[in-house]
Structure 1
Amino acid sequence: MPSASSTSATADDDILCEEQSPAPLSTDPPVPSTSLSTSVEVADAAKASKDATCFFGNVEKLYRLFSGSSQRWAILQKYGDVTLKSWSETRWESRVNSIEPLRYQAGKETSTQADIEAQISLPSTPRLIMLDESPVTMDKPVCFIDTDSDGKLCVQQSALQILQQIQQPVVVVAVVGLYRTGKSYLMNRLAGKQTGFALGSTIESKTKGIWIWCVPHPNEAGTTLVLLDTEGFGDVKKGDRKHDTNIFCLAVLLSSTLVYNSRGTIDDNAIMELQYVTELTECIKVKSSDKDADDSSEFVKFFPSFIWAVRDFTLELKVDGKDVTEDEYLDFALKLEHGTSRRVMEYNLPRECIQKFFPSRKCFTFPFPTAPEKMSCLESLDVAAISSEFLKVTDHFCKFVFHDSSVKRLKDGHTVTGRVLGHLAKTYVDTISSGSVPCLENAVIAMAVIENEAAVKKGLQVYQSGMEKLKESFPLELKDVSSEHQHLSSTATQAFMKRSFKDIDGKYLKSLEEKINELFDGYLCQNEQASKKLCEDLLSSLSAPMMENLKQGFYAKPGGYDLFCKDLEDIVNKYNSQTNKEVKAEEVLEEFLKQKSVDSKVILQADKKLSKKEKQLKEQNEKAVLLHQEIKAKEEKQRQLEEKMEAERQSNEERMRQMKEKMDEEMRLQREEAERAMDSKLREQADLMQKGFNEKADRMKQEIEEFKKQSTEAETNRAKEFAAILENANRGHEERMDLMMQNHREQMMAIQEMNPLNRCCIL
């Protein structure tokens, strides 16, 4: 392929991209315009990330278009050597290589599109175009969680459908705060847009419920940025504090970064407006075992990072006359007071909750963006009309969110994808609407059932899809079928591992393994049937002249037996030369020779050229030949069983390796989660000691010791669970091997019992 330096782009080298911004969310690949050439300079495209992303995205659309149905693929195949592959999600070089042939097939490719336009009526309703790991781009946000006619929260199906198609890890950023404080503007900036989430220009709350916007993460390839804009708190028209609490609770549960948006300063009033944080202990449970226990000490393990965005900030960043940073300003505002009076306790409670629950805190102070009279049209203002200092802080805020916001994880560190996020939202909302308290443990258990069942289904789909393609080439040698089985079994297990989590006793992996083995046995049977048919058809063709001679009585004459034996020997030699790799070759030949032995006996007895003694010798020799062939057939079966045993052994080794990798990864995530929580608690304890809160620091020390103990126990228990899973998996393998070994011994004994005295063969 020519390099970028040796090839100049022309007008015809269009990159299939009409604009640089991400394409709007559409749901079905419209037929790409046939007026655009796909003869592209791929290296140039790869250098310009936006162009390249758009280019490869359109190649992916072409692939999805043709592979979406057998009818469309048949049209593609009509043009012979047109090559269209799915692009790799690894390196640019791989992506370039995967579509390189397309560069030289532009004419044929456009012809295929024309055929589709002419022959197929494409659906008018769009569908989301994406592969499992492809990013989802929405051109605008949609309502995610709303209230129904009864005033209960409900998840919108359209938003769930979008999330269901996001297989990538998600970074979830949610913004909460009082209504009419400019939350939506920040979300639009994070999405890289001027407009999107609704910005109201009146005193009424504009956003209702929770809205969602999914865009490719600007910094992290293979990750989706999910933005959640929430309904503003304190709307006098709504007047429902419980609703506000539920919205805040959902924002905390679903996000990996929580942005609290307020105006003016971080004073006592601003913190009191964040009283929702003090109610989280009543609104969220970690474990289901003890409903009355306070497990808020574990919140820090899975709560999001916390960002306080102070809008319209006009004060100097000074404390006691000294310049401070924004983060130091937040720490000063969250400083606790000494004392035990009710007033002090009420003053300290929200501050303690913020410090205790959230693993990290960050603060940004935004000046006024523009003149008051222009605030109502902020989203349509030219950049020149917006304060440069405001834009500077906004840019700093966005960069921080992009760089420091982590991927959303479940308790114990399991990565959340868009699909999982949708399930979680549905579980939490249904629980809240029923009047119950959301419980993380219950949500994870319910999620594990859904995801593990889907993981088994995905693994089977991967395996069966590959074997069905292999089936098109049946019959094959057993080693070829076994080799592909091992490869696909490993790939299927990998697909399962990628999606599964909390398969506590390994029952889902065992289910996948058993179903794959059942399918493998079925494919072996189908391969044998195909081999048997091929061998039988070949023998039928090769023996046709002999059958005609038998009908004509050609062998019913002196010397006819020798002629018959010679013809039979020729048939067998030709057959063996053409079927030496067929799995049913020996068995079919054995059956054929048994059938021909009937004709052979008749011809032998009628042959007057042979003496009685010669006939007896010929008959004995023929029996020896039949016995020899029967032994060969059994030995072939035994050899095939040995191949199957070796395939099982290798498959088990690979499966155990993958299981250990998965378990090591889960243990690492669990350990990292505990370490992050421990670091947060240690920082809090050190801060309490430094500020003279010795009693609180002592309580925190006890909490840390208990946390260490629980973390150690959890890690030990998990290690025991993993060991049991591996032991059970290996036991299942040993049971299968024992059955095959028993079968092998029985076959060996059957061969030995034959023990022919004479194995002379005329063939």
Structure 2
Amino acid sequence: MASKIHMLNPMCLIENRDKTFFVNQEAIQLLSGIHQPVVVVAVVGLYRTGKSYLMNKLAGKKSGFSLGSTVQANTKGIWMWCLPYPGRPDQTLVLLDTEGLGDVEKGDSRNDSWIFALAVLLSSTLVYNSMGIIDQHAMDQLHYVMELSERIKSKSPTENLEAEEDSAEYVRFFPTFIWAVRDFSLQLVLNGQPCTEDEYLENALKLKKGNSCEDQAFNLPRECVQFFFPTRKCFLFERPTNQKNLHRLEEMEESELEAKFVQQVRQFCHHVYETSNPKTIPGGHVVNGRLLATLVAIYVDTIRSGSMPCMENTVQALAKIENSAAVHEATFCYMELMDQKLKLPTETLQELLGIHAKCEEEALQVFMARAFKDDQQAFQAELMQALAQKKEAYCRQNELESSKRCKALLKRLSKELEDRINKAFYTRPGGYQDYCNDLKTVRERYHQESGKGVMAEAEGEQFFKDQEAVGGAILQSDEALTEKEKEAEDARARAEAAEREKEIQRQQQAEWEQKLEDQKRSHEANIEYLKEKMEKNREKLLEEQNKMLENKLWQQMVLQQAGCPKCIDHLYKQIDQLIKEIENLKQPHVFSEMLEAASMMLPLVLPELIG
């Protein structure tokens, strides 16, 4: 069970070996077993800045992620620690500790950029850890943020390959941003007045007015942080202990550390626990451990191939994998439920269809909970076809079981009749009437028996039809009857047989109509679930669009302060277009048209004509 996953120690998720990334399959397998939503908190920053200490505190442990006590960087690649989320039993906390950036021994800034990009792509909360103060030097060291657009694409390339990506698109899937400043020693004062940590950060991110090269160089990292991470928070930490004890920080009790530092760490952990959200992908789909494992594999494979991760392509690939799995999971769920609830043979077809309807509804819920971005409803249609085929298979199995039971019952009830036929008991004057009486007794006893199933009439009819030749021979040999009486009896027998045949046809027609009604019910149920799913998707899309609008309005304000009229004119057009899209999404008739178009993709699977 996902709620029972509790790693005692971290394990490597992505290994960085010889400047190449490798996925740890053991970690992937563990992640794949987590079916709960995951809240992914990643920490990045320069090496030897105490990143791992914060991660251990979030894990509620003194040790776990390697702190290191020398000038060498300890963490290589990305390490993972999965834990029950504090206060959220229905979610799992995934902590990611990344190798230190700027390691002089590694000497590969491109490799560092990919580590930073992976942390951004995988996390829902990103902690950037730095030392000292937030000044120009700190901004220069954050050049990895400026390189994100060169490492990650939000949309797949179009015909206009030179078109610049809209930074607001990244807001749809980028994490919230926490800047953790370690060993901070300044007074929190701005313009002679006390300020908060967040005000300190926002002041450090202010842009300079002007268009000179120096102004642009100053503004670029600040613009990137503002545009890529509109949701920001700052924590300032004093030095935990004196210099000589830093190497044994992992061993020290809280009582041995600076009280202010201990309080700051607690506030940091509380903020992360309270504000961090489950990881989502564009479209608002919540990521669980299985999806996160797939994302890791896709990103690493893409980077190793020399390409750039593209979120649009990744979501499409992920949707294809997940939707196909959702069809199989829902189909398996349906069969498992049918096998549990269905006792063959059923007395009527309607009884089977009633059980089928309940199992189909649960299977649909399983599918809808897992599937996403099934824009053409291809996978939902595939599920409908699969369940219709499974239902027909259960119907055939039901008929087979009923036929077996009916044949066995008829064989038992007609044993005496067959014995008399074999002994020529009825080949005597008056024998035909005795034969008819005995056959009538078999028919009456057969109809009185319960539990025969849906093939009771058909199997009974076949049995009595098979007796027609025997009865005809006995009739013709009975010397007690005149030729006229024999003709009358023969006509009566044929009329009875014809009436029974009509009854069988009426029953088959009724069953076909029941199946037809069930398929219409199934189609309508699928439309209702699709409507509910599309409404939720519309709400998520509106939420994302509003975030993008907020981001653009923020960009507009920032650019106005920096004095960039040309950029502002371009933004006006983007904002106007986005507002129109949002208003259009809110229109009821637009949703109705979208639903109608989507429902057309779902087939009405009609049963084959019987007879």
Matching residue of 2:188: 317
The answer to whether the 8 Å contact 1:359/1:676 transfers is no
Shift in Å, 1:514? 1.0
Opposite residue 237 of structure 2, the aligned amino acid is F
Opposite residue 639 of structure 1, the aligned amino acid is A
Q: Show the 5 A alignment for 1:25-40.
A: none
Q: Show the 5 A alignment for 1:237-386.
A: 237-290=105-158, 291-297=161-167, 298-386=169-257
The answer to whether the 8 Å contact 1:188/1:197 transfers is yes
State the distance in 1 between where 2:298 and 2:582 align. 27
The answer to whether the 8 Å contact 2:208/2:562 transfers is no
Matching residue of 1:565: 436
Matching residue of 1:85: none
Distance 1:192 1:719, change over 3 A: farther
State the distance in 2 between where 1:655 and 1:688 align. 48
| SS of match in other structure, 1:308 | strand
| SS of match in other structure, 2:172 | helix
State the distance in 1 between where 2:38 and 2:130 align. 26
Matching of residue 154 in structure 1 with residue 154 in structure 2: no
Opposite residue 369 of structure 1, the aligned amino acid is P
Shift in Å, 1:691? 7.4
- Deviation track 1:449-485 (CA, whole Å, cap 9, x = no partner) reads 1111111111111112223334564355312211121
Matching residue of 1:726: 599
Matching residue of 2:34: 166
Matching of residue 417 in structure 1 with residue 294 in structure 2: no
Match of 1:675 among 546, 550, 563: 546
Shift in Å, 1:679? 2.1
Shift in Å, 1:701? 3.5
The answer to whether the 8 Å contact 1:264/1:311 transfers is yes
State the distance in 1 between where 2:290 and 2:428 align. 80
Opposite residue 146 of structure 1, the aligned amino acid is E
Distance 1:219 1:511, change over 3 A: same
Distance 1:452 1:582, change over 3 A: same
Opposite residue 596 of structure 2, the aligned amino acid is A
State the distance in 2 between where 1:292 and 1:281 align. 13
State the distance in 2 between where 1:419 and 1:670 align. 23
Shift in Å, 1:533? 0.7
Q: Show the 5 A alignment for 1:393-542.
A: 393-470=264-341, 473-542=344-413
Shift in Å, 1:301? 2.1
- Deviation track 1:632-669 (CA, whole Å, cap 9, x = no partner) reads 11111112112212221221221111111111111111
Opposite residue 468 of structure 1, the aligned amino acid is D
Matching residue of 1:46: none
Matching residue of 2:104: 236
Shift in Å, 1:388? 2.2
Shift in Å, 1:722? 4.5
- Deviation track 1:662-695 (CA, whole Å, cap 9, x = no partner) reads 1111111111111122223324434555677766
Distance 1:214 1:715, change over 3 A: farther
Matching of residue 223 in structure 1 with residue 52 in structure 2: no
State the distance in 1 between where 2:396 and 2:408 align. 18
State the distance in 1 between where 2:113 and 2:347 align. 64
- Deviation track 1:62-107 (CA, whole Å, cap 9, x = no partner) reads xxxxxxxxxxxxxxxxxxxxxxxxxxxxxxxxxxxxxxxxxxxxxx
Shift in Å, 1:608? 2.4
Unaligned stretches of 5+ residues in structure 2 = none
Opposite residue 24 of structure 2, the aligned amino acid is Q
Matching residue of 1:205: 73
Opposite residue 219 of structure 1, the aligned amino acid is G
Distance 1:649 1:720, change over 3 A: closer
Matching of residue 144 in structure 1 with residue 13 in structure 2: yes
Opposite residue 260 of structure 1, the aligned amino acid is Y
| SS of match in other structure, 1:138 | coil
State the distance in 1 between where 2:170 and 2:484 align. 97
Percentage of pairs with the same residue: 42
Opposite residue 294 of structure 1, the aligned amino acid is E
The answer to whether the 8 Å contact 1:477/1:581 transfers is no
The answer to whether the 8 Å contact 2:347/2:451 transfers is no
State the distance in 2 between where 1:638 and 1:579 align. 23
TM-score if structure 2 supplies the norm length?
0.94
Matching residue of 2:45: 177
Opposite residue 477 of structure 2, the aligned amino acid is A
- Deviation track 1:183-233 (CA, whole Å, cap 9, x = no partner) reads 111111111222111111111111111111111221333221111110111
The answer to whether the 8 Å contact 2:181/2:236 transfers is yes
State the distance in 1 between where 2:49 and 2:374 align. 44
State the distance in 2 between where 1:697 and 1:218 align. 44
| SS of match in other structure, 1:259 | strand
Q: Show the 5 A alignment for 1:68-79.
A: none
CA RMSD of aligned residues (A): 2.2
Q: Show the 5 A alignment for 1:19-168.
A: 130=1, 134=3, 136-149=5-18, 151-168=19-36
The answer to whether the 8 Å contact 1:663/1:722 transfers is yes
- Deviation track 1:353-411 (CA, whole Å, cap 9, x = no partner) reads 10011130100111122232222122221221122221211111111111111221111
Shift in Å, 1:565? 1.2
The answer to whether the 8 Å contact 2:124/2:278 transfers is yes
Matching residue of 1:49: none
Matching residue of 1:659: 530
The answer to whether the 8 Å contact 2:346/2:352 transfers is no
State the distance in 1 between where 2:201 and 2:479 align. 116
The answer to whether the 8 Å contact 1:304/1:359 transfers is no
The answer to whether the 8 Å contact 1:359/1:677 transfers is no
Matching residue of 2:512: 641
Match of 1:705 among 576, 581, 592: 576
Opposite residue 105 of structure 2, the aligned amino acid is K
State the distance in 2 between where 1:637 and 1:399 align. 67
Matching residue of 2:556: 685
- Aligned length in residues: 606
Unaligned stretches of 5+ residues in structure 1 = 1-129, 748-763
Large movers: runs of 4+ above 6 Å = 690-695, 712-719
Opposite residue 191 of structure 1, the aligned amino acid is A
Shift in Å, 1:710? 5.8
Shift in Å, 1:148? 3.8
Opposite residue 231 of structure 1, the aligned amino acid is E
Distance 1:580 1:229, change over 3 A: closer
| SS of match in other structure, 2:351 | helix
| SS of match in other structure, 1:301 | coil
Shift in Å, 1:487? 1.6
The answer to whether the 8 Å contact 2:130/2:180 transfers is yes
Matching residue of 1:76: none
- Deviation track 1:126-151 (CA, whole Å, cap 9, x = no partner) reads xxxx2xx64532221110111245x3
Matching of residue 624 in structure 1 with residue 492 in structure 2: no
Matching of residue 191 in structure 1 with residue 59 in structure 2: yes
